Amino acid sequence: MKYTQENGNIILKDYDSFIISQTLECGQCFNFNKLGEEDYIVTAHKKALHIYQSGDAIVFEDTSINEFETIWLNYFDLNRDYNEIKKLLADEDEILKGAVEYAPGIRIINQEFFQCLISFIISQNNRIPMIKKVVYNISKKYGEYIRTVNGEDYYSFPEPKRLFGLDGEEYKDCKAGFRGKYIADAVTKYVTDELEIESFKSLSTEELRKRLISINGVGPKVADCVMLFSLKRSDAFPTDVWVKRIMSYFYFGGQDTPIKKIHEFADEKFGDYSGFAQQYLFNYARQFKIGTDK
């Protein structure tokens, strides 16, 4: 991987495993807008990044070396060798090989913790387009205006303090539905430091999971997503309906298997690579509707 600055843009070349559409649209994040083929706006870190493919390069528009190195390099996990991960998983079995080859351009994004937490609280019993809308509505109502691109306004995700004290009902304007009270509890626990975020790094994944589940509206699945997508816990294995289906289908003879058994299996088989395996499998299962009657 190498990157240079040209005309105010960062040009990324000689990278491995990075297809913008696959990384953004594999279900791990909701803070993006598609402008065209391999052409997106991503809102994070109070910025609206225009990122697109140009030949064999990826362009981070209007970005300095400093901004690239302090924000986007880590955000898109560009220091990690995904060829190594993909090879390891593909060698595991034919199923993973297929899942990896189907979307070889997925990278696990390192999202901002607060936005990720709220996003996945919203995700429960919801659909991805709707999750994106609610995240956008909250940003528009409580965040700060960043800029307009192609007639579309972009807003930063609000600071926790900005949301502190809001009643759960307030989020109904943003179409959060019954999840408003959950958002309110997450905000309260964040701002009052009930979560003790500073201590996260010293906790085991299991301990951290329990801490996150103390939030009303955060269960095992949401906690695992938050740990994987914003706290670099690649040993987490978020198991939603799709992952449950594909795991049952391929590894348990088609028998509907309890999540606890699936977790034990994933721990043993994937270990610290569980999160990566999960994302390839989730994407694969969802695209082909594996385990459903369709």
Partner DNA sequence: ATCCAGGCCCGAT
Partner DNA sequence: ATCGGGCATGGA
177 binding DNA? (CB under 7 A): yes
Residue 206 sits in the site that holds DNA (CB under 7 A): no
Asked if 291 interacts with DNA (CB under 7 A), we say no
How near is the Cβ of 14 to DNA at its closest, in Å? 28
| Per-residue buried b or exposed e for 33-66, using 16+ beta carbons within 10 Å of the residue's own CB | beeeebbbbbbbbebbbbbbbeeebbbbeebeee
Q: Which of 17, 63, 123, 248 binds DNA (CB under 7 A)?
A: 123
Smallest separation, CB 188 to DNA (Å)? 14
Site for DNA in 3-42 (CB under 7 A): 26-28
- Please say which residue, 98 or 220, places its beta carbon nearer to DNA: 220
By CB under 7 A, name the one of 135, 222, 247, 262 that touches DNA.
Answer: 222
Among positions 32, 240, 273, 276, the unique one binding DNA when judged by CB under 7 A: 240
Tokens of 92: 């595991």
Is 175 a residue that touches DNA (CB under 7 A)? yes
**Which among 69-77, 121-129, 147-155, 159-167 is the span making contact with DNA, rule CB under 7 A?**
121-129
Residue 106 within binding range of DNA, rule CB under 7 A: no
CA angle 23-154-47, nearest 5°?
65
Residue pointed to by tokens 């594996």: 290
- What gap in Å lies between CA 6 and CA 16, rounded to an integer? 21
Binder to DNA among 162, 220, 265, 288 (CB under 7 A)? Answer: 220
The C-alpha atoms of residue 113 and residue 212 are separated, in whole angstroms, by: 11
278 touches DNA (CB under 7 A): yes
CA–CA separation, 96 and 99 (whole Å)? 5
Whole-angstrom Cα distance, residue 42 to residue 151? 15
List the Cα angle 118/120/123 in 5-degree steps.
Answer: 115
Q: Which stretch binds DNA (CB under 7 A): 39-47, 147-155, 212-220, 261-269?
A: 212-220
Q: Is 55 left (phi over 0), alpha (psi -120 to 50) or beta?
A: left
Q: Is residue 124 a contact residue for DNA (CB under 7 A)?
A: yes
216 binds DNA (CB under 7 A): yes
**239 in contact with DNA (CB under 7 A):** yes
DSSP E strands: which ranges in 37-191? 39-44, 47-54, 57-60, 145-149, 152-155
Q: Which residues bind DNA (CB under 7 A)?
A: 26-28, 123-130, 172, 175, 177-178, 213, 215-223, 225, 238-243, 260, 278-279, 282, 286
